Structure 1
Amino acid sequence: MILNKKPFIIGIAGGSGSGKTFFLNCFLHHFKQDEVTLVSQDDYYIPAGDMSQEENKLYNFDLPSTIDSQQFLKDIKQLLAGEVVYKKEYNFNNPLAVVKILEIKSAPIIIVEGLFILHFKEIAALLDHQIFVDAEESVALDRRIKRDGLERGYPEEDVLFKWHNHVAPAYKEYLLPYKDSCDLLVVNNTNDPEEIIEITEAISIDLKKNILVGID
C-alpha cells in the first residue's frame, strides 16, 4: 500500500475498566492489516525494576511521569513520516514474561491509545480525531477487579487500594477534563458486545469512505 497523503491519526482515550481494549479490538477488526496501525501508551512505561507484591501495590503507575512521553511522541512522528517503529512490548512488570519486539508499520490510519494521550499536549496536537470511551465508576471498578484477579492474579484488596489511591484520582485529574472536548464520546456501561460492534462498524465505514478512498 502506498501512502499518498498524511496518515489520519485517531486518539482513543479511556479510563481503566471503560472497555477501551474491547472497543479497540472491535475497531481494528473492521480493517485490513495494512489499513490501520496501533501504537499504545502501555508500551512506553519507564521500567520500574523488580518489585515485591507490596512494592507493586504501592507504586503508582497512574501518573504521566511513569510514561516516556518523548519517545512516545517521537515514534508517532516516525509513523507519520511513513517509517517503521521497533519497540519492546511492555510486560506489566512481570519478570517471567517473554519480552517481544513490536514492529509497528505506518498505515493510512494510525490509532494512538492511552490514558494520558490528551494530557500530553504535543501528542494531543497530532490527533485528527479524538474518541473518549467512558463507563460509570462502579462498572469500571467491577471490570478492573475481574481483570486484575483473572489475568494478573492480584488480590482484590490490592486492586481496591490502587483504584482508590491511584486509578480514580489519575482519571479525574489527567483524563476527565478532556471528555467534553473530544469528537466522539462512547458510553460503555453494558457488557453487550453488539453495541460496541455497531459503533465501531459505523466509524469504520465512515473512515473507509473518507480516508481510505484512492489509496491502493
Structure 2
Amino acid sequence: MNNKPYVIGIAGSSGSGKTFFLNSFLNHFDPSQVTLISQDDYYIPSNTKTQEENKLYNFDVPTAIDRAAFFKDISDLFEGKTVYKEEYTFNNPDIKPKLLEIKPAPILIIEGLFIFHYTEVNDLLNHKIFLDANEDVALERRLRRDLIERGYFEEDVRYKWVNHVVPSYNTYLLPFKDSCDRVIINNTDDPAPINQITDEICKELSEKIKF
C-alpha cells in the first residue's frame, strides 16, 4: 500500500449501538477495502489482579488500555504491515480467544472509547463519528449485554455504570462530541435508521476514495 489510509474514528457511549453500526458499515465494503482495529483488544490483562480487585477494577479509564501497543499496531498498518493480535474476550474463561489478522487497507477504522482522548490517535483521524444514546436506553442495552452475553451480576453492572462508565464518558468522550464530523443519536433498536446512515456515509466515501 503506497498511500496512507483514509482513517475513520468511531467512538460512542456504552450502549450506543457501536457494534451494530460497525457491522453495518463494514458490510458495504469488500474486506480488501477496509480494515478495523479496536481499542477493546488492547485492555491490559486483569488476571494480574485478585478476584476482589477485578470486581471493582475500572476498565473505563485510559490507563486500562495498553496505549503504546495500540498506537504501534496502528502505525504498522500505516506502513502497510499486517498486524496479528489476540482478541480480548472480556475475561470470559469459556471463550478461547481468536488470533486476529488485521491487514492494511485503503480505509482504516479505529474504534474505541479513548481514540479522541489519545492525542496521537486523534491526530491521525480524517473523519470522526460519534455515536450516542439517551442514558436510560444505553443502560438497558448494557444490562442486556452484560447479564446475558457475559454472565455478570446485575448489582456489579449497575455499580460499574454509576461509578465507572458514566464518569468516564463525561470525562474522556463527551468533550469531543462537538468536534466530530458526524454525531449519530441511536435510541432505537430498529436497524433501518443506522442502515440508512451507513449507506450515506459509504456513498460519500466511495466518491472520495479510489479503490
Give the deviation of 1:94 after TM superposition.
2.1
SS at match of 1:82: coil
8 Å CA contact retained: 1:118, 1:124: yes
Aligned length: 211
- Match of 2:165? 167
Q: Which runs of no fewer than 5 residues in structure 1 stay unpaired?
A: none
- Match of 2:68? 70
Note if 1:79 corresponds to 2:80: no
Give the deviation of 1:95 after TM superposition.
2.9
How far apart in 1 are the matches of 2:74 and 2:48?
29
Give the deviation of 1:15 after TM superposition.
1.1
Aligned pairs for 1:1-216 (under 5 A) are 3-49=1-47, 54-211=52-209, 213=210, 215=211
Give the deviation of 1:97 after TM superposition.
2.2
Q: Which runs of no fewer than 5 residues in structure 2 stay unpaired?
A: none
How far apart in 1 are the matches of 2:60 and 2:142?
14
The alignment yields a C-alpha RMSD, in angstroms, of 1.3
Q: Percent identity?
A: 60
How far apart in 1 are the matches of 2:205 and 2:169?
29
8 Å CA contact retained: 2:42, 2:67: yes
How far apart in 2 are the matches of 1:151 and 1:96?
11
Give the deviation of 1:82 after TM superposition.
1.1
How far apart in 2 are the matches of 1:53 and 1:176?
31
How far apart in 1 are the matches of 2:6 and 2:187?
28
How far apart in 2 are the matches of 1:54 and 1:25?
35
* TM superposition score normalised by structure 2: 0.96
Give the deviation of 1:80 after TM superposition.
1.0
Give the deviation of 1:141 after TM superposition.
0.4
Q: Which string of whole-angstrom CA distances, capped at 9 and with x for unpartnered residues, describes residues 142-187 of structure 1?
A: 1000110110111211110010011000000000000000011011
Change (3 A) 1:192 1:53: farther
How far apart in 2 are the matches of 1:23 and 1:199?
9
Q: Which string of whole-angstrom CA distances, capped at 9 and with x for unpartnered residues, describes residues 118-149 of structure 1?
A: 00000100111100001011110010001101
